[in-house]
């Protein structure tokens, strides 16, 4: 049985994340083709400045990604991804007091960034790439497993579910079992329902509405909906006008028990989290 302590303390390399409270994870895409901020932070100095700003705004984790996973995104080679990600991970680890998450499915990137100071592996493919399971286990780092069917290039072609929340939960249970057999215990796992990945708007809305059902899996939840198309489709807003919808979902996710909110707009989301905490702590 998972202990209360293991639910509230997540060792992340040389730091510990206290999951008794909600944390904000700032997104740092060092890619030229991400859907929202592609190319803005591909230079090392710009990436570090943005990471510094997010930490100053209250982010306790920075999620560094070198491979876009937007629908239709092109694949990149392991070397290209490593060349994008490794220098900024090393720099952040040296300069900032923050947990570094690496958004990757690539075994070589997992191993090298763990050596350079990363504290969390965030894999949209749930360690299904060849060699990823063994690489993640070897790092000793916690892993975020996300639900996705197919690959980013085809995941939105025709996603179908009879009960999206139940099927997402079943997928995550299966991946947790595979991880445990490879030497990654449940205490090192965070779960991400995968909003926007192989899901229609109605799938996303239903999964969000019933998110509490995933607490039965006994692991902390990471929610990433910042600027995503589910907001755009629900509100008829382009990417640059999705902040308010994203903050509404951040507040709702926190109330529903999510412990990590992965966002582009850190300062605004931190205000949401702090306001909720102020209300909850009142007599």
Q: pTM to 2 decimals?
A: 0.92
pLDDT confidence of residue 221: 98
pLDDT confidence of residue 3: 38
Using only C-alpha atoms, the chain has a radius of gyration, in whole angstroms, of 17
CB atoms within 10 A of CB 138: 15
Which one is catalytic: 84, 175, 228, 259? 228
DSSP state of 83: H
> The tokens 């400045």 sit on which residue?
49
Task: Report the DSSP pairing between strands 222-223 and 15-18.
Answer: unpaired
Taking the C-alpha atoms of residue 140 and residue 220, their distance in angstroms, rounded to an integer, is: 18
Domains along the chain with CATH numbers? 9-280 (3.20.20.20)
Contacts of 155 (CB under 8 A, 6+ apart): 71, 148, 149, 197, 198
Question: Which residue ranges in the chain fall short of pLDDT 70?
Answer: 1-7, 33-42, 71-73, 150-157
pLDDT confidence of residue 42: 58
Greatest alpha-carbon span in the chain: 54
Per residue in 40-65, pLDDT tens? 555 888 899 999 999 999 999 999 99
Catalytic status, residue 209: no
Cβ proximity of 122 and 145 under 8 Å: no
Catalytic status, residue 111: no
Q: Between helices 243-255 and 201-209, what is the axis angle to 10°?
A: 40
């Amino acid at each position: 049985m998972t202990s209360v302590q293991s639910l509230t303390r997540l060792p992340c390399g040389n730091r510990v994340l206290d999951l008794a409270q909600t944390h904000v994870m700032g997104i740092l895409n060092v890619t030229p083709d991400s859907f929202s901020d592609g190319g803005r932070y591909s230079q090392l100095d710009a990436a570090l400045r943005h990471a510094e700003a997010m930490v100053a705004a209250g982010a306790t984790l920075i999620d560094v990604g070198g491979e876009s996973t937007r629908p239709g995104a092109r694949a990149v080679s392991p070397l290209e991804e490593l060349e994008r990600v490794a220098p900024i991970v090393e720099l952040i680890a040296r300069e900032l007091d923050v947990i570094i998450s690496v958004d990757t499915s690539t075994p070589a990137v997992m191993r090298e960034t763990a050596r350079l100071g990363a504290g969390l592996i965030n894999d949209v493919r749930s360690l299904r790439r060849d060699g990823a399971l063994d690489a993640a286990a070897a790092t000793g780092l916690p892993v975020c497993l996300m639900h996705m069917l197919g690959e980013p290039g085809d995941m939105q072609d025709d996603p179908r579910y009879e009960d999206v929340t139940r099927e997402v939960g079943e997928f995550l249970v299966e991946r947790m079992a595979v991880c445990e057999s490879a030497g990654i215990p449940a205490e090192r796992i965070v779960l991400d329902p995968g909003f926007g990945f192989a899901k229609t708007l109605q799938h996303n809305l239903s999964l969000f509405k019933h998110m509490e059902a995933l607490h039965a899996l006994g692991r902390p939840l990471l929610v990433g909906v910042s600027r995503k198309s589910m907001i755009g489709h629900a509100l008829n807003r382009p990417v640059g006008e999705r902040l308010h919808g994203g903050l509404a979902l951040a507040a709702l996710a926190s109330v529903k028990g999510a412990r990590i909110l992965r966002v582009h707009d850190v300062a605004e989301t931190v205000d949401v989290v702090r306001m909720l905490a102020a209300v909850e702590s009142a007599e």
